[in-house]
Structure 1
Amino acid sequence: MIERLLPIAMLVASNVFMTFAWYGHLKFKAAPLVLVILVSWLIALPEYMLAVPANRWGSNVYSAAQLKGIQEVITLAVFAAFSILYLGQKITVNHMIGFALIAAGAFFLFRAPIASA
């Protein structure tokens, strides 16, 4: 069970770092762009240190497509929480519909293959 859950937990943690690296600076628009880029790189380092082994170890139990689907759903969930809690932005019905469609795509990655004719 740990081999299935550890990669997912690591992807959640990596996505928190990734989201702060990519979007956290939006609260500091007066900061020089070069500084924002450097700080983002520093935040992204732990993200890579979590995501790379998560995908390596996760590939023992998930296909690459399944790992990508998991990562996308996690990214959307983390981003939605970040957007609301950190940026103070609302998630609209259209956002939720778009996120649900992406999650539906991930669902199909875990279904049994469809037999070809």
Structure 2
Amino acid sequence: MPLQSYILPVALLILSNIFMTTAWYWHLKFKAMPILTVILISWGIALAEYMLAVPANRIGHGVYSAAQLKTIQEVVTLTVFVGFSAFYLGEGPTWNTAIGFTLIALGAYFIFRG
């Protein structure tokens, strides 16, 4: 398999998670905005996420198992969230966050170890 088959799904999952994290949390800085408006804007942002995540999983399933794809997605989600939380929301990671992330990374290791 070409290297692109391994890299493209991960790149698409990273991009999709940037959109999804934004869809879920951007509005926390705009609490005066009506909830229906927030929902509609978030749906629009989430559409981009789906347009990236679905092809990522379809392409990725040629080289990764479904469990591996889900594991990649979860690790990417947490990584993107920590960055988004720190830079957009101003809520940096704590020691508990770091410990929890380390335990999840350990779980990911076992998924890929086979």
Q: Does the alignment reach a TM-score above 0.5?
A: yes
The answer for unaligned runs of 5 or more in structure 2 is none
- Runs of 4+ with >6 A deviation: none
1:65-106 deviations in whole A, cap 9, x for unaligned? 000000011001100000000001121000111111111111
SS of aligned partner of 1:60: coil
- In structure 2, what is the equivalent of residue 7 of structure 1? 9
TM alignment of 1:1-117, pairs within 5 A = 1-112=3-114
> TM-score scaled to structure 2, two decimals?
0.96
Equivalences, count: 112
- The separation in 1 between residues aligned to 2:105 and 2:23, in whole angstroms, is 23
- The separation in 1 between residues aligned to 2:92 and 2:8, in whole angstroms, is 31
Task: Tell me how large the CA RMSD over aligned residues is.
Answer: 0.6
1:42-79 deviations in whole A, cap 9, x for unaligned? 00001000000000110000000000000011001100
**Percent of aligned pairs sharing the same letter:** 64
Higher helix share: 2
Rg larger in structure: 1
- The separation in 2 between residues aligned to 1:62 and 1:95, in whole angstroms, is 28
The answer for unaligned runs of 5 or more in structure 1 is 113-117
